[in-house]
Amino acid sequence: MILRNQFGRTGHKSTQIIFGAYALSKATQEEADRILHLLLESGINHIDTAPLYGDAEKRIGSWMENHRNDFFLATKTRSRSYKGAWKDLELSLSRMKVDYIDLWQMHGLTNPQGWEKAMGPGGALEAFIEALDKGLVRFLGVTGHGSKVPAVHMRSLEHFDFDTILLPYNYLQLQNPRYRKEFNELMELCLKRNIAVQTIKSVARRPWENRPRKHNTYFYEPLETQDAIDKAVHWSLGLENSFLITAGDMQILPKIIEAAKNYEKKPSEKEMKELVDEYNIQLIFSY
């Protein structure tokens, strides 16, 4: 059974595993419907998607007529302008055939110039606040990839009281002293404000480089065996009051769900070091 916890201040009890809908970016509707069955069977009640995730929002849209009340639904915008963000929101609502989004997030907000535009006059934040006021979205968040995300999220939370954050978290990433320090400072602030923390890249093994891409994971080659995925997922789930977003690959998804169902405790330092050595796990984000 996958545990459910309060998703920050939202009042929603989300499963500790959130479905990362990038897995549906190239899926047929038939494939997507099989995933829906797996989610319902597993009790997963939270979906994270984005307009940039290929066909994902369209595939999810076909589920919503009968299953809107089964899922906390989150999407994003990559646009940094008011007009662009508003256009993305309208597109997401239309594609997913819903009247409102539970969580709307600024997608990949890490670039300093993009941050200034999003938060400034005529920026995406103005669209976020307006959409919230109009009831088109219920909560607001920020997401990011890369090693600089904790520091950027701190800046974002100092500027506006977002309800959620999303960022990379895995064993090897946390061995970087600078990342660990900034990450821990961010966690303290989120705990103080009851901001929901979503983590990504739990099963990252190494950059793809020139190897054939066998999985639909954009940034990295994932771990593949159940044992390795169990350890990586269990380590990430060991972060108190956090939620793990599944990797964007339909092949890996059942293994991540299985790992979450079997979670009991965080693996030891020795176990994680052995995992890194056995699978030659490498950083996918560095300073």
The predicted-structure confidence for 32-52, as pLDDT tens digits, reads as follows 999 999 999 999 999 999 999
For position 286, what pLDDT does the model report?
76
Average pLDDT over residues 7-25: 98
What beta strand segments (E) does 207-264 contain? 221-222, 242-245
Element (H, E) at 236: helix 226-237
Torsion angle (degrees, nearest 10) of CA 161, 110, 218, 230: -50
Beta bridge partners of 73: 47
Count other Cβ atoms within 10 Å, centred on residue 141: 26
Q: Do the strands 101-106 and 137-143 form a parallel or antiparallel pair, or are they unpaired?
A: parallel
Cβ-based neighbours of 38, under 8 Å, separated by 6 or more: 253, 254, 257
Torsion angle (degrees, nearest 10) of CA 93, 94, 97, 98: 20
Q: Do the strands 72-77 and 204-206 form a parallel or antiparallel pair, or are they unpaired?
A: unpaired
Token reading at 228? 């390795």
Q: With a cut of 90, say whether residue 22 has pLDDT above it.
A: yes
The model's pLDDT over 110-140, given as tens digits with 9 standing for 90+, comes to 999 999 999 999 999 999 999 999 999 999 9
Token reading at 168? 């990379």
Count other Cβ atoms within 10 Å, centred on residue 186: 21
What beta strand segments (E) does the chain contain? 4-6, 13-15, 17-20, 46-48, 72-77, 101-106, 137-143, 164-168, 196-200, 204-206, 221-222, 242-245
Q: With a cut of 70, say whether residue 152 has pLDDT above it.
A: yes
Supply the angle between the helices 112-119 and 149-159 in degrees, to the nearest 10: 20
Burial of 44 per CB tally in 10 Å (0-12, 13-18, 19+): buried
The model's pLDDT over 188-222, given as tens digits with 9 standing for 90+, comes to 999 999 999 999 999 999 999 989 999 999 889 99
Average pLDDT over residues 76-91: 98
Q: What percent of the chain has pLDDT over 70?
A: 100
Average pLDDT over residues 132-152: 97
Q: Which domains does the chain have, with CATH numbers?
A: 4-279 (3.20.20.100)
For position 42, what pLDDT does the model report?
97
Q: What is the mean pLDDT of the chain?
A: 97
Residue whose entry in the numeric block shows the structure tokens 């030891």? 268
For position 287, what pLDDT does the model report?
65
For 252: left if phi > 0, alpha if psi spans -120 to 50, otherwise beta; the answer is alpha
CA angle, 22 then 255 then 243, to 5°: 60
